[in-house]
Structure 1
Amino acid sequence: MTELFSLSLLQVISDWQIGGASEVALRRGQALEQECANLPIEFKSVPSACFRRVVLKKGSIWNLLGEQALPEKISSWTFDLKVAKVFKDGVPLHGKGLQGIIFERPPQQDEIIVNLWALFRDASFQAAIEKHKSSIKRFAKGMGKYGDAQCEIVLKVETLTQEHIYSLGGHSSSAEDILKHATEDIYGRHATPAQKDFLRWAMEVGPDVTGPRWLTQEATRTVLNRVEPQIPPLRAKKAVGGSVKIEA
């Protein structure tokens, strides 16, 4: 009788969770797809839309917003938005030329490689891990470390488009800049020291509004709508060899 949760299946899952550079990840993704092909449907289904946190460089941003598509591959997603927001330290560092994006996608059935969250919650799968874990190479760096903590779903998606963007990552102005603008908005350009001190105190006791943030869906849509009119002329400029820069 063929073992449903074989050592080879466990090994490719653990290898996948370790991660790796693009070529390594591609090979591990292909191996995972092959091993998971015959799993029961309950391990190849998703309870809701899935989210994926991606960091793009300037050229990739143009591919997504200007060319309308970003090439994708077998990759890790999650159905827990909170996990996506904190994955790999969340919003990328400011000033590095990087843009953090969270995509949202309700996957098609044929795009689902495996629901790892469902697998790890299955008693028979856990029994198979106990049986084979001493034979799983680098176990402590893979499934032994991550398990189902990331509510992970592995999808095979060909492209991501602008319509799949759920949130953009950004950084607010400094606390002093925010205080300056707030003071001018409320009291004008001639605020007294006491008025400035009051607003500074209000900022200190209120919620922190500085630093990295994932924009709300509404704010993200506002940014994308502001960018949209720039795309046709930039696409024409790029067609004749010009450089392009998208301003958000």
Structure 2
Amino acid sequence: MEQFTLEVMQAINDWQRGGDHNQKVRRGERLKEVSLLLEKKYRVCNQLCYRQEAHDEPRLWSLLADNCLPETIAAWTIDEQLAKNFKGGVAPEHLLALIFSHNPKDIEVIINLNTVYASEEFLCAIEKYRPQIIGYYSGIDKYKDTQKEVVLELNNLDTSDILYLGGYSGTLEDLAILNDSKTPDETLKFQQRIKKLEVKPKMPWWLSSNGTQNVLERVKPKILDLKGRE
């Protein structure tokens, strides 16, 4: 029995085209529906997945205070570097950038597009249905498997899923959550580290995993106060 029917191909194509929030919700639900027609091997992922997000301060403080960030059906990638470089890398300064990592359970996987694109059956279906797929050149043809994508449905994310925090060198150095409780010696070491890394003012960068965890630990005592200010 044919798995990659025209309706399946159209749903995959529509998802890859993206869209505004409402479109993504609709297309995600449609993808979830038709993916159930596929073999189980296309709906599992045994690799760590990554997702970059950018939030304003109130949303981030809520995540840290409540340990819960509601999620919908969303695109993740198995390529950490792709996650770091997504949409040009670190988000603009008025937003706070994060990279989440998650090891998905089978029930959370809508479709693993890496496995799909590696399928000869899928590639044959592209050739068969290409003239009939609406928006083909802005979906499957444009992105193919370049995003190393896995589509996941998670109820929420929590602070344990945060792998990296991102920002800009000037703002990172001045952030109260980094400088509070620092001794002059610690501050000097931090400045020396920035100089050694040749970090220039307003240069976008991702904190290391350890650095991210240190920031999260330091902000814990202040988080309720920070949330209350918004």
TM-score when scaled to structure 2? 0.85
What amino acid is aligned across from residue 209 of structure 1 in structure 2?
Answer: V
Contact 2:46 2:103 in 1 (8 A): no
Written as runs of structure 1 = structure 2, the 5 A alignment for 1:183-222 is 208-210=198-200, 211-222=203-214
Match of 1:131 in 2: 128
Written as runs of structure 1 = structure 2, the 5 A alignment for 1:86-165 is 86-94=85-93, 96=94, 98-165=95-162
Match of 1:224 in 2: 216
Identity %: 36
What amino acid is aligned across from residue 83 of structure 1 in structure 2?
Answer: L
Match of 2:15 in 1: 16
**Corresponding residue to 1:166 among 143, 163, 169:** 163
Q: Distance in 1 between matches of 2:130 and 2:199?
A: 46
Larger RCO: 1 or 2 (CA < 8 Å, sep 6+) = 2
Q: Distance in 1 between matches of 2:12 and 2:19?
A: 13
Match of 1:194 in 2: none
Aligned residues: 211
Quote how far apart the aligned CAs of 1:60 are.
1.1
Q: Note the alpha carbon deviations across 1:128-153, whole angstroms, 9 max, x for none.
A: 00110111111111111111101000
Secondary structure of 1:55's aligned partner: strand
TM-score when scaled to structure 1? 0.79
Q: Distance in 2 between matches of 1:32 and 1:17?
A: 10
Q: Note the alpha carbon deviations across 1:147-181, whole angstroms, 9 max, x for none.
A: 1101000000000101100000111139xx9xxxx
Secondary structure of 2:97's aligned partner: strand
Quote how far apart the aligned CAs of 1:207 are.
6.0
Q: Distance in 2 between matches of 1:103 and 1:31?
A: 25
Match of 1:43 in 2: 42
Q: Distance in 2 between matches of 1:244 and 1:112?
A: 37
Question: Cα gap change, 1:146/1:230 in structure 2, threshold over 3 Å: closer, same or farther?
Answer: same
Q: Where in structure 2 are there 5+ consecutive unaligned residues?
A: 175-187, 190-194
What amino acid is aligned across from residue 104 of structure 2 in structure 1?
Answer: P
Match of 1:85 in 2: 84
Quote how far apart the aligned CAs of 1:18 are.
0.8
Q: Distance in 1 between matches of 2:198 and 2:7?
A: 48
Q: Note the alpha carbon deviations across 1:218-245, whole angstroms, 9 max, x for none.
A: 000011011011134x28xx6xxxx426
Contact 2:73 2:153 in 1 (8 A): yes
Secondary structure of 2:170's aligned partner: coil
